[in-house]
Amino acid sequence: MSLLEVKNLVVEFPGRRGTLRALDDISFSIAPGEILGVVGESGAGKSLTGAAIIGLLEPPGHVASGQILLEGQRIDNLGHEQMRHIRGRRIGAIFQDPLTSLNPLYTVGKQLTETILTHLPVSAAEARERAIGLLKDTGIPAAEQRIDHYPHQFSGGMRQRVVIALALAAEPQLIVADEPTTALDVSIQAQIIQLLKHICKSRGAAVMLITHDMGVIAETCDRVAVLYAGRIAEIGPVHEVINHPAHPYTAGLMASIPDMEEDRERLNQIDGAMPRLNAIPQGCAFNPRCPRAFDRCLRERPDLLQAGATRAACWLHAAEVAA
Amino acid sequence: MNAAVQPLVQAHDLARTFDVSAPWLNRVLEGKPRTLLHAVDGVSFEIEKGKTLALVGESGCGKSTVARLLVGLYEPTRGGLTFDGQDAHAAFKGGDAKAMRRRIQMIFQDPYASLNPRWLVEDIIGEPLREHGLITDKAQLKARVGELLQSVGLSPLDMVKYPHQFSGGQRQRISIARALATEPEFLVCDEPTSALDVSVQAQVLNIMKDLQRQRQLTYLFISHNLAVVRHVSDQVGVMYLGRLVELADKKTLFEAPRHPYTRMLLDAIPKMHDTGKARTPVQGEVPNPLNPPPGCAFNPRCPHANERCRTERPQLLTLGGIRIACHAVEEGRI
C-alpha cells in the first residue's frame, strides 16, 4: 500500500474577484522509502502541494475537494490539534531557508529536545541523548558542544543540517522537503542531497522533494511529477521523464537547461510565460506555448494518459491509449 | 602586447578591504584591534572587446564586490581598472565621470528590487537617457524607449505599465533595456538569471547573446551556476576567498580543470542524464573571510595540500596557457 496518497486534490483561494484554483485535480502517491520529486516553474503549485499535505495552507487557501491519505487514513479534514500530532511525528518538513525555520532565540538543542519530547515518550535526558545522536547523523562535527549553540553560530550548510535533524527528530515516515538546497552553494548542496538520500535509505522514510532544479531531481529521485499551472503535466520514473519526456512542456523545460556536456549557440526557449491563475486558457493550459498544439488541445483539457513508461496530460498520447 | 589587441577592460591587482571593526569605544575599552575584511584581494584580468569573462565561486568569495568595483560603486583599496586605455577610477572621480559611467553599465540580480515600483517603465528606461543628457526631447525619448523595449523582445506599448505588471523574466529584460539605454560598451552582469526559472533563464540568456553579437558588447558575467557560465562565457575566472585561483578560456577550464577547487566545483554539479548517480560532495565549507587560513586559503579542504600550501600563499602564475594559483600544479604534483 502507498504511504501517501493524494486523490484529485483541489486547492482554492477565494477572493473578492472570484475564486482562484491554484491546484487542480492533483493525484499521485508515494510508496514507503520512495523519493518523489516535484518540479515546475515558480507559481506552478509545487510548494502549495507540499503545504496542503502538511496541513499548512495559508488561509484563505483551503482544500476544496479531493483527499489526502496517510497510510489509508484521511488527513486533509483533520482539525488543527489532530494535525499537530501528525506533523512532526509522522510527516516531517524541511523548508528552503534554514535561518527562518529555526528560532533564533533558542539553542538548537532546546529546539530538538522540544520536538522529541512533544512527540515521543522519553525523558529529558534521553531526549538530549537522541538530539546529539541526530546531529551526529546529519554530519555536524563536535555535536556534544554544538548542541548548545544558537542558530546564528552555524553556517548556512550546517543550519540546513540542523533543520534536517529537526525534521527527523520524531522519526516521521514521510518528509516533505521544499527547496531544501536552493539557498545553498553547489558544493554544500551536494553534501546536503547526499545526506538526505542516505538518511532516508537508512531509516526507510519516504520523501517528497520539491525543487525547481532538475539536476537535483535527476540524482535524487525515483519518480518525478512535473507541475504546470496547478496540474500535473507528466509523472513517471525519473530516468524516463528526463531522457524521454512525453509532454511537450517537459521536453521544452529539459531543453532550456544549459547542459554541461553539449555546446549550443542558443538555448532552446519556451516562448511566453506560464499563465496567471485568473487567466488559464481553455483546453490544455500549455496550448498557447506548445509547438505541437492542435485543435483538440484548444477545446478539451487532457487528463493524465499513459505515454510509454510515464503518464502525460497531453492529447498527443490519446492515440496511443486508443490503439 | 601591441595596441591592436589592447583589451577593452583591464583590472590590475584590484583589492577592496572593508572595515568591520567594533565601534571605537569598544575597541578602546576592550582592547580589541581593528578588524579588516579583505573582500577582494588582488584580482587581475583582461577582457577583450566583444568577449565575455565569467567569474564563478561560492557565496562570499568576492564576485559581487568585483562587479561593484568595476562599475565604480566601490572605490578600490588598491589597484585599478583601465578601460579603453583610461584609468576608470580616476575618471569616476574627475569631470569625466558621466562619460565613463555612460560606457560601463550594470545589470543586477534581483529584477524585483532593482526597478522602482512607483515608476512607469518609460521613466525607468528613460532615466539614464535624461540623466546623461542624451535625449531631451520628449517625443524622441519615447521613441528611443520604444526601440530599447523592442530590442529586448518587449513591446513599445509596455512603456506605460508598472514593473509589477511584468513577470520576473520580463522585468529582467526591462533592466537590460535600461542598462543598454546609454549605449554602453561594457556590461557588468551580477547573477542576471539566478532569480529566474530555467525556461525564462533561457530566454534572457539568448537575448543577452543576441545583443552581444549585434552591438559588440563586452560582458563580465557573474554566476554561481557553472552550466550557465559554460554557455555564455569565452573565459572563466574561478574565485575563492577574494582571489582568483584559476583563469582560463572556457574550453580548457571545463575540459581540463587544473586547480583542485575548480575540479571540486565541477564535480559538484549534478549530472542530468545519469539519473541516480551520486555527486562527489565537496568536503568542508568556505572558511571565515575575517580569519582566513594561512598559506593557500583552500588548503583545509584540499586533498593535495602539503606543508608549503599551509604556510606560503600561492601567486597567480601563467602555466601552460592558463593562469593558476596552486603550489601543487606548479610543482607538478597534480
Model confidence over A73-93: pLDDT tens digits?
Answer: 999 988 889 998 899 899 999
Burial label for A99, CB within 10 Å (0-12, 13-18, 19+), is: middle
Gap between the Cα atoms of B209 and A269, Å rounded: 13
CA atoms of A165 and A133, how far apart (whole Å): 9
User: What average pLDDT does the structure give for chain A?
Assistant: 89
pLDDT of A187 reads 77
**Model confidence at A323: pLDDT above 60:** no
At B264-321, the pLDDT tens digits run: 888 888 777 776 666 766 677 788 888 889 999 999 989 899 999 999 999 999 988 8
Q: Which long-range contacts (CB under 8 A, 24 or more apart) does A258-265 make?
A: A258/B202, A258/B205, A258/B225, A258/B227, A258/B228, A258/B230, A258/B231, A259/B227, A259/B272, A260/B226, A260/B227, A260/B230, A260/B254, A260/B269, A260/B271, A260/B272, A261/B273, A264/B231, A265/B209
- The distance of A219 to chain B (nearest Cα, Å) reads 4
CB-CB contact of A215 with B270 (8 Å): yes
The count of other CB atoms within 10 Å of the CB of residue A202 is 9
CB distance A41–B199 less than 8 Å?
A: yes
CA distance B194 to A99: 20
pLDDT of residue A322 exceeding 70, the answer is: no
- Whether B199 sits inside 8 A of A42 (CB atoms) is no
Q: Which domains does chain A have, with CATH numbers?
A: 4-221 (3.40.50.300), 246-322 (no CATH)
Please indicate whether, in this complex, the C-beta atoms of A218 and B281 are within 8 angstroms of each other: no
Q: What is the pTM of this model?
A: 0.84
Q: Residue A67 in contact with residue A73, Cβ under 8 Å?
A: no
Nearest to B285 among A157, A215, A257 (CB): A157
Q: Is A303 on the interface with B (CB under 8 A)?
A: no
pLDDT at B6: 82
User: CB–CB of A267 and B202 under 8 A?
Assistant: yes
> Residue A212: which of B197, B231, B282 has the nearest Cβ?
B197
What is the 3 state secondary structure string of chain B? Answer: CCHHHCCCEEEEEEEEEEECCCCHHHHHHHCCCCCEEEEEEEEEEEECCCCEEEEECCCCCCHHHHHHHHCCCCCCCEEEEEECCEEHHHHHHCCCHHHHHHHEEEECCCCCCCCCCCCCHHHHHHHHHHHCCCCCCHHHHHHHHHHHHHHCCCCHHHHHCCHHHCCHHHHHHHHHHHHHCCCCCEEEEECCCCCCCHHHHHHHHHHHHHHHHHHCCEEEEECCCHHHHHHHCCEEEEEECCEEEEEEEHHHHHHCCCCHHHHHHHHCCCCCCCCCCCCCCCCCCCCCCCCCCCCCCCHHHCCCCCHHHHHCCCCCEEECCEEECCHHHHCCCC
pLDDT above 70 covers what percent of chain B?
96
Domains and CATH numbers, chain B: 3-233 (3.40.50.300), 254-270+293-334 (no CATH)
Across the interface, whether the CB atoms of B282 and A190 are under 8 A apart is answered yes
Give pLDDT, residue B3.
47
Residue in this structure with the C-alpha cell 536552493, named with its chain if needed: A182
Is the dihedral angle over the CA atoms B322, B328, B333, B334 positive or is it negative?
negative
Q: Which sign, positive or negative, has the C-alpha torsion A89, A95, A98, A102?
A: negative
At A148, list the grid cell: 548548545
Cell 578600490 found at: B76
Q: Please state the rounded mean pLDDT for residues A261-265.
A: 73
Confidence of residue B1 (pLDDT cuts 50, 70, 90): very low
Residues of B in contact with A159 (CB under 8 A): none
Q: What is the pLDDT of residues B125-180, one digit of tens each?
A: 999 999 999 988 999 999 999 999 999 989 999 999 999 988 888 899 999 999 99
SS (H, E, C) chain A: CCCEEEEEEEEEEEECCEEEEEEEEEEEEECCCCEEEEECCCCCCHHHHHHHHCCCCCCCCEEEEEEEEECCEECCCCCHHHHHHHECCCEEEECCCHHHHCCCCCCHHHHHHHHHHHHCCCCHHHHHHHHHHHHHHCCCCCHHHHCCCCHHHCCHHHHHHHHHHHHHCCCCCEEEEECCCCCCCHHHHHHHHHHHHHHHHHHCCEEEEECCCHHHHHHHCCEEEEEECCEEEEEEEHHHHHHCCCCHHHHHHHHCCCCCCCCCCCCCCCCCCCCCHHHCCCCCCCHHHCCCCCHHHHHCCCCCEEECCEEECCHHHHHHHHC
- Tell me whether residue A20 is exposed, middle or buried, using C-beta atoms within 10 angstroms of its C-beta: 0 to 12, 13 to 18, 19 or more: middle
A260, closest residue in chain B (CA to CA)? B227
Nearest-CA distance B185 → chain A (Å) = 22
Question: Chain A residues with CB inside 8 Å of B282's CB?
Answer: 187-188, 190-191
pLDDT of residue A266: 81
pLDDT digits (tens, 9 = 90+) for A100-145: 889 999 999 999 999 999 999 999 999 999 999 999 888 888 899 9
Interface residue of B207, B275, B277, B301 to substitute, partner A, most A CBs within 10 Å: B275
Of A134, A156, A158, A157, residue with least CA distance to A144: A134
For chain B, say whether A190 makes contact (Cβ under 8 Å): yes
Extract the C-alpha cell encoding B41. 584581494
Is there a contact between A189 and B169 if contact means CB atoms under 8 Å apart?
A: no
Q: For residue B249, how far is the Cα from the chain centroid?
A: 16
pLDDT for the residue B5: 67
Work out the mean pLDDT of chain B and round it to a whole number.
Answer: 89
Which residues make beta-bridge pairs with B37? Answer: B18
Does ipTM exceed 0.90? no
What residues 47-106 of chain A have any CB closer than 8 A to a CB of chain B? none
Examine the pLDDT at A321 and tell me if it is beyond 60. no
**Mutation choice for B interface testing from A186, A221, A228 by most B CBs within 10 A:** A186
Determine the distance in angstroms separating the CA of A66 from the nearest CA of chain B, rounded to an integer.
Answer: 29
Percent of chain A with pLDDT over 70: 99
Closest Cα to residue A229, out of A12, A56, A46, A18? A46
Cβ–Cβ contact A257 with B under 8 A = yes
pLDDT of residue A196: 85
Contact A258 B231 (CB under 8 A): yes
Q: What is the pLDDT of residue B2?
A: 45
Residue A60: cis peptide before it, omega within 30 degrees of 0: yes
Res A320: pLDDT: 60
Q: Does A262 touch chain B (CB under 8 A)?
A: no
Residue A103: the pLDDT is 92
Taking contacts as CB-CB distances below 8 angstroms, the residues of chain B near A191 are 281-282
Could you tell me the pLDDT band of residue B214, with boundaries at 50, 70 and 90?
very high
Rounded to a whole number, what is the distance in Å from the CA of B271 to chain A's nearest CA? Answer: 6
Q: Which residue's entry shows cell 513517471?
A: A236
Q: How much is the pLDDT for A156?
A: 82
Q: What pLDDT is attached to residue B278?
A: 66
Q: Which residues contact B25 (CB under 8 A, 6 or more apart)?
A: none
Distance (Å) from the C-alpha of residue B64 to the closest C-alpha of chain A? 15
For residue B275, the distance in angstroms to the closest alpha carbon of chain A comes to 5
Cα B316 to the chain's mean position, in Å?
A: 19
B263 contacts: CB under 8 Å, gap ≥ 6: B257
Q: Is residue A244 within 8 angstroms of chain B, CB to CB?
A: no
